[in-house]
Structure 1
Amino acid sequence: MSAGTDTTTRPAEPAEAVGSRRGLLRVWGPGLIVMLADTDAGCLVTAAQSGASWGYALLIPQLLLIPILFMVQEITVRLGIVTGKGHGLLIREHFGRGWGYLSAGTLLLSSIGALLTEFAGIAGVGELFGVSRWFTIPVATVLLLAVALLGRYRRAERIGILVGLGELAFIVAMVLAGPKLGDIVSGATSIPLNQPGYVYLLAANIGAVIMPWMIFYQQTAVVEKGLTVAALPRERRDTAFGAVLTQVIMIAVIVTLAATVFTHGLKPTLNTVGDIANAVTPFLGGMPAKVLIGAAVLGGGLVAALVVSLAGSWGVADVMGWKHSLNSRIDRSSWKFYTVYALAHILGAVVVLSAVDLVTLAVDVEVMNALLLPIVLGFLLALEVKALPKEHAMRGAYRWTVWILCGIVMAFGLYMVPVSLLPH
């Protein structure tokens, strides 16, 4: 089924998809996988840099971002389920092809930057265990191509979630790091907003939480999965659970580095996954550090590479009017979509094989995401008003809360335009 299909043509979701445990598994997935992808290799590295440089000072912002993240993605859920159309297609239909191209442009910028960080992270994990990136990157590329080209959406989603759960290894690392509650409380309540370096990383963390490709992905994913309005409550819970989980992982990364590297006054150079593992090795042990850091970054990198490339390909196909469903075989009508998906991985692999500074790239990409937020969230809020019927639109205090919080995030993104140009 194409994401551009009208809701009236979609097959009804089986009754079990709404009212049973088996139904829970049928409905849940889009929110969880997009949130696991949200905590990708770049985000994990950004969080590690945050904990190593500023201790616990970025914990409160991570907590405050949970409701904002949920509210943003919940709108995409309603847009997708109620209209049966992808994000790019709705923008094109309601605002014209020119605005559709603009939205696709922001999506491509975000997706390309993210995909590079994923491949760089995967390469770093291999090198952590002495495996050349000339082996890990081609293997990862082939696997990611196979997941999309040889499977259906539900199968790709399940594989992505299973792989992404490797990120939970950072929770184990946090426990082994032995953080002290007193240090966490005192450090978290000290927020140095007068420091450009802190503000820059704050922007990077905001960009690491709300990313343009997440909106495009989840809206099309609920359509690909064939969810109907009856599934809305459970898909909201799927999204809420994922929003909490992704921030718990980010917090675990920050606490791990803060309790070890920052607390002991170390100033390590964090340019690779190996650098991060080496930084915590004196506190966790050599092999535990390698295994835990490696599992988390590999899991985050692989699930995000799948989600990011699908989001970018779906978004471009939406705007161009191409057929783009994983549930259909490659044919004359869908080959363009699959070609974009394949080229994204191949080009990303080639760039990363030329060697990339992962930490610098990751932080810069997340800051770029923050700068793009005014455009992305502006389109999302406008579509909520124009594309949803009254019975499914936001109402009352909740509506104002969402608009105010999104306005604050968009204002921060605009504020970061000049700040990002300053030395940090």
Structure 2
Amino acid sequence: MSDLPADRRAFRQRLTRLLAAMGPGLVVMMADTEAGSVITAAQSGAQWGYRLLLLQFLLVPLMFMAQELTVRLGLCTGKGYVELVRQRFGRALAMSTAIVLLLSCFGALLTQMSGLVGAGSLFGIPGWLILFTLVVFILGMVLTGSYHSVERVTLAVGLFGLAFLVMAVKAQPDVRQILHDIVRMPLNNPDYLYLLAANLGTSVMPWTVFYQQSALIDKGLGAEHLPLARIDTLVGAVFCQVLTAAIVIAAAATLGGHGAGLESIAQIGEAFGALIGPTWGEAVFAIGLAGGALVATIVVCLSAVWAVGEALGVRHSLEQHPLDAPWFYGPFALLLIGGALLVASGVNLIRLSIAVGVLNALLIPLILLLLFLLARSVLPPEHRLRGRYALAVAVIFTLTSVLGLYAGLSGSLG
């Protein structure tokens, strides 16, 4: 290394730092393209055509702002979201935040497992076999590896979501219809508002905010990685919403957008299958759905146990041996197995996925408010949220919270 020219040494050092910082942002955004997001986006296209397409791109700045603040908090304080809430606002609020996160995580876990069962049903694979294989695979990966190995596996699996881009291209959408629909948003329609809230809640989820902050800490990164971690976050946010928009486009082009709702994974698989061919089309759809669901299953389980540990003042890490951290690996296993048993009992996936999204939309105000207050108070002065950018974040967070509450409540009660 010492024999290399100075410019090549500097390049290698920059590349090493880039590779170290990249990962958590991509993982959490790949997890964001999970079963619930896929189903909600497909339902949006099937029921409302392209009328919810613009929303997918408007969510990119919001997602980046929220996740970028978690990056700052994690890298500059070395502490997780709930841990900071506990130290800044007290144990009671920390436990309340942990409960909110647990509620969001468990709903998401059920959605992912149900999505995987639904994808398997397209090929006649028994649900119990899929759930058993899933539990064994994830437990084996987590119990035998560090965060770095878990991250590598989840990134590889999450790339299967690129299958949805193939679907969107094959759908050959009518550009004139897109331009006609995209600016027409019937905000007085309760059904539209309900799906709008679900889209919002499957894009900015409490567990995604929490996971990235804890993952950065578990990876051993510091404030010097902040610029590159921001790039990681931005790339992840754009990647996530491009895939989600692709699902809306494919569903609108194939399922009509004339108010007809979806009732099962099979409906989506059959419609998307017509784009490429019955066998290959369903396979591509199943791979895309399963990839996001697998990543999200790992992420939500880790988020849940990290949150409880931080609320109780107990630090956990995947770098620890299972025997040295039973309070980390035990709850992880119980949450995973409990979710599998509940899903095995049978649940309507379409309704569950959209309901979980709406629930997340109703929880967003608390999560964003605490995130904003922490970024304004606990960060070192040079990294603290302030000035015009703080005002912009405050405005966007407020508008998002109001929209989430209005759409979620109006859609649920309408």
Q: What TM-score results when the alignment is normalised by the length of structure 2?
A: 0.95
What residue identity is the alignment partner of 2:360?
N
Q: CA deviation at 1:132?
A: 0.4
Q: CA deviation at 1:326?
A: 0.3
Asked whether the equivalents of residues 56 and 245 of structure 2 are also in contact (C-alpha less than 8 Å), the reply is: yes
Q: Deviations over 1:250-274 (max 9, x none)?
A: 00000001111116x583x623322
Q: Which moved more, 1:122-131 or 1:274-283?
A: 274-283
Q: 2:359 aligns with which of 351, 368, 373?
A: 368
Q: Report the equivalent of 2:287.
A: 295
2:108 to 102, 111, 114: 114
How far does residue 416 in structure 1 lie from its aligned partner after superposition? 3.9
| Equivalent position amino acid for 2:399 in 1 | I
Aligned residue for 1:176?
A: 170
CA distance in 2, matches of 1:83, 1:283: 49
2:252 alignment partner in structure 1: 258
1:14-33 → structure 2 map (5 Å cutoff): 19-33=13-27
Distance in 1 (alpha carbons) for counterparts of 2:173 and 2:280: 17
Structure 2 residue 14 is the aligned partner of structure 1 residue 34: no
Aligned residues: 406
Matching of residues 147-166 of structure 1 within 5 Å: 147-166=141-160
In structure 2, how many angstroms separate the alpha carbons of the residues matched to 1:17 and 1:44? Answer: 39
Return the alpha-carbon distance in structure 1 between the equivalents of residues 234 and 33 of structure 2.
Answer: 15
- Alpha-carbon RMSD across the aligned residues, in angstroms, is 1.6
Offset at residue 111 of structure 1 (A): 0.1
Secondary structure at 2:412's aligned position in 1? coil
The gaps in structure 1 that reach 5 residues or longer are 1-14
Is residue 2:70 matched to residue 1:76? yes
Aligned pair partner of 1:57 in 51, 62, 66? 51
Q: Secondary structure at the match of 1:394?
A: coil
- SS of 1:20's partner is helix
Whether contact under 8 Å (1:39, 1:300) holds in the other structure is: yes
Are the aligned partners of 1:16 and 1:22 in contact in 2 as well (CA < 8 Å)?
Answer: no
The structural deviation recorded for 1:414 is 2.7
Provide the secondary structure at the position in 2 that maps to 1:135.
helix
Match of 1:335 among 326, 351, 365: 326
2:197 pairs with 1:203: yes
User: Which residue of 1 is the match for residue 131 of structure 2?
Assistant: 137
Query: Is the CA contact 2:29–2:240 (under 8 Å) kept in the aligned structure 1?
Result: yes
Post-superposition offset of 1:18: 9.1
1:403 alignment partner in structure 2: 394
Distance 1:17 1:222, change over 3 A: farther
1:259 corresponds to which letter in structure 2? A
**Partner amino acid for 2:301?**
S
- Secondary structure at 1:324's aligned position in 2? coil
Partner in structure 2 of residue 6 of structure 1: none
CA contact (8 A) 1:167 1:297 kept: yes
The residue number in structure 2 matching 1:271 is 263
**Helix, strand or coil for the counterpart of 1:331?**
helix
1:355 and 2:346 correspond: yes
Q: Deviations over 1:282-311 (max 9, x none)?
A: 444211321111011100100000011101
Query: Residues 82 and 98 of structure 2 are in contact (CA less than 8 Å); yes or no, is this contact kept in structure 1?
Result: yes
CA 1:323–1:330: 2 relative to 1, 3 Å = farther
Q: Is the 8 A contact 1:17 1:26 kept in 2?
A: no
- The equivalent of 1:3 in structure 2 is none
Shift of 1:24: 1.8
Question: 2:412 corresponds to which residue?
Answer: 421
Q: Give the CA deviation at 1:226.
A: 1.1
Query: 2:239 is matched with which residue?
Result: 245
* Residues 33/18 of structure 1: CA separation in 2 closer, same or farther (3 Å cut): farther
Find the counterpart in structure 1 of residue 4 from structure 2: none
Comparing 389-398 and 193-202, the one that deviates more: 389-398
Letter in 2 for 1:406: F
TM-score between both structures, scaled by the size of structure 1: 0.93
Unmatched 5+ residue regions in structure 2? 1-8
Which of 59, 83, 87 is matched with 1:89 structurally? 83
Contact kept, 8 Å, 2:56 with 2:241, in 1: the verdict is yes
* 1:236 maps to which of 226, 230, 234: 230
SS at match of 1:209: coil
How far, CA to CA, are the matches of 1:226 and 1:18 in structure 2?
20
Number of the residue aligned with 1:126: 120
Identity of matched residues, %: 42
Which AA in structure 1 matches 2:170? L
1:345 pairs with 336, 340, 365, which one?
Answer: 336
